[in-house]
Amino acid sequence: MRTVQKLPILSLLLVLVGYIAYGWLLSIHKADWRIWIPVGAIAFGMEWLFSIVWAIAAVVFVFLRKDQFLLSLGISVIWAFLMYVARNELRAFMNNRGWNFFVLTLIAGTGLSLGWFTDTLPMIRTFGSTLIK
């Protein structure tokens, strides 16, 4: 029987921090949260390939016309591989496919929402607006 002590906390935190960063980037570029949060959460819960496609689409949406496009795409690919490792650890912990989808979707949705929320904080909003200039 699996216990909470064997729960891969580092993997959960990695996934959460990754989606917080993506939620914040999408927020500072005024992307519609009603589209990006549910789609990103469902893509991550379904399969890792969908999450990679979603991450690349987010980078293209955010950085296509900026100098940082290739750097952001590279970081996104590295992030996607780290997410793949984290997903495998989480899936190894849970054998039930339905629970697996639910937990991964909940983690991704929470991370994206927290990222969106951080843009409402004045100090972070100022930092974000200096990034997109």
**Residue 123: its pLDDT value, please?**
67
SS (H, E, C) 39-107: HHHHHHHHCHHHHHHHHHHHHHHHHCCCCCHHHHHHHHHHHHHHHHHHHHHHHHHCCCHHHHHHHHHHH
- What total of structural domains would you count in the chain? 1
Question: How large is the average pLDDT for residues 84-95?
Answer: 76
Give a yes or no: residue 1 inside a domain: no
- pTM score of the predicted model: 0.72
Confidence of residue 5 (pLDDT cuts 50, 70, 90): low
- Angle, helices 9-28 vs 122-131, to 10°: value is 70
Q: Is residue 43 part of a domain?
A: yes
For residue 105, the enclosing domain spans 12-127
Task: Check whether 115 has a pLDDT greater than 80.
Answer: yes
pLDDT digits (tens, 9 = 90+) for 59-74: 777 777 766 677 777 7
Does any domain span residue 33? yes
